[in-house]
Amino acid sequence: MAQSHKDSIVAWRGYQATTQQGDVVQMMMSAEANEIALRRDYLKRIAAVTLMLGAQGLPFRGNDESIESTNRGNFVACMELLRKFDPFMQKYNPPSNATYMAPVSQNEMIECCAQEVTSVIVSEMIQSKMYAIMADEARDGQSEQLAVCVRYVSEGEVCEHILALTELMSFDAKSITDKLEEQLQKNGIADVKCVAQTYDGAAVMSGTTGGVQARFRGLHPEAIYIHCYAHELNLVLCHTCRAVSEAVELFDLLESLYSFFTTSLVNHHAFKHAQVKLGLATELVQLFNTRWACRLQSINAVLQTLPAILECLAVSGSPIAIGIKAKLSMFSTIYALLMFQTLLSITEGLHKLLQKETLDLAEALIGKDALLERHAERSSNAGNLKAHASPR
């Protein structure tokens, strides 16, 4: 057989092997494509865990993420949980330089997810053509941050989202306004019509000449300022009660009572024991000026546990306990407790209504009118409280 013929046979067989198995380059490309697909599937799970932890507001990392640690943090724990039940995770072992489990990789994934979520929000805002902006300060450790939120309508649904959380270095009106405008420029929505702005009632935010709302309206003339109505209701109640000496005395007494039972473990344990003996189970509630609703909770707790409170105060016998017991046993105090329980139960409904995300103007007006009607009815029946306010 001629050599040329032999060479042709070898070449033919080589060609057949190549077409059946692919040449080296094709095999390498196929392996690379397969590895890319595997890594993408792996990254999908990394992203899913990142989004879940972020949505739940859970911390990612533990103090010690080493293999020997018994608590490696939520992120590592979630990935280990997936590996127990996910067939893909059980089979796939990522390269040591591409596990995406290191803090730097976690932060990069968080940033990527944040950018993706923000882009969707911005896109919906642009399509909506108008929005309202909300902002408030939020402390994180030793730093002050400004939370910037937006509210708009997308496909008939009211949407409310955090757009940014940015660090504040200065707290004057100009600096805060500049931060707001910086976020709008950064996200490409400075030209989208802003029709409303809402902040708290602090002078730096609400000032009509040099406040944030005035400065921001200079940049966005159609952005009318709206003070949080739930906060305004809270302020009305606070300022009204400060002008009524009986109210001041009552809430000072409730604060003293809360302090007496919570600052001492002995007093708190005695209170819990007295409740168990009387078949009660209610904790006292601390008062906060910014959350007026807690005053109703505090009054309800005192009225529900009054027998246990009086028993503990009597057993204690300390000068403070004797003073609190004497005031709490007075007819005027019991009457004030019942009166404010009635009044605050009326305002609580409107207070909750004004905090609803889906609240509209018509519903707010109906709620306000209903409160006034209920207040008028209760005022005409105020004498009935005396029948229940017998000395204890």
The pLDDT of residue 392 = 46
258 and 343 fall within a common domain: yes
Count of H-run helices and E-run strands, the chain: 17, 5
Report d(CA 232, CA 244) in Å as an integer: 19
Asked whether the beta carbons of 254 and 241 are under 8 A apart, the reply is no
Residues 160 and 268 grouped into a single domain:
no
CA distance 1 to 137: 92
Residues 219 and 236 in one domain: no
Are both 167 and 69 inside the same structural domain? Answer: no
Residues 223 and 238 grouped into a single domain: no
Residue 120 falls inside a structural domain = no
pLDDT at 61: 85
Q: Tell me, yes or no, whether 119 lies in a domain.
A: no
Q: Give how far Cα 354 sits from Cα of 200, 231, 241, 334, 368, Å.
A: 14, 9, 21, 30, 10
pLDDT of residue 370: 87
Domain identity same for 239 and 368: yes
Counted residue by residue, the chain has a size of 392
Neighbours of 33 (CB within 10 A): 10
* CA-based max dimension of the chain: 126
Give the domain range for residue 192.
Answer: 126-227
Domain stops at, among 227, 247, 279: 227
Same-domain check for residues 299 and 354:
yes
Handedness of CA 336, 342, 348, 350 (dihedral sign): negative
**Would residue 118 count as lying in a domain?**
no
| Alpha carbons 111 and 312: distance in angstroms, whole number | 54
**150 and 240 belong to one structural domain:** no
Final residue of a domain: which of 84, 110, 136? 110
Say if residue 64 is in the same domain as residue 105: yes
Spatial CB neighbours of 80, under 8 Å, sequence gap ≥ 6:
72
The count of domains in the chain is: 3
Query: What local confidence, expressed as pLDDT, does residue 243 receive?
Result: 85
User: Is position 117 within any domain?
Assistant: no
Q: Give pTM, 2 decimals.
A: 0.65
**What is the sign of the dihedral through the CA atoms of 170, 173, 176 and 177?**
negative
Q: What whole-number distance in Å separates Cα of residue 289 and Cα of residue 270?
A: 29
pLDDT in tens, the chain (392 residues): 566 666 666 666 666 666 655 555 555 567 778 888 888 999 999 999 999 998 898 888 888 777 778 788 899 899 999 999 999 999 988 888 888 888 888 899 889 888 999 999 999 999 999 999 999 887 777 788 899 999 999 988 889 999 988 888 888 999 999 999 999 999 999 999 999 999 887 888 888 888 999 999 999 999 999 887 777 887 788 888 888 888 889 989 999 998 998 888 888 888 888 888 878 777 887 776 666 667 888 888 888 888 889 988 988 888 998 999 999 989 888 888 988 888 888 888 888 888 887 778 888 889 888 888 888 877 766 556 555 555 54
From residue 336, how far is each of 240, 261, 283, 389 by CA, in Å?
A: 15, 21, 21, 9
Which of 116, 183, 195, 187 is CA-nearest to residue 151? Answer: 195
CB neighbours (10 Å) of residue 260? 22
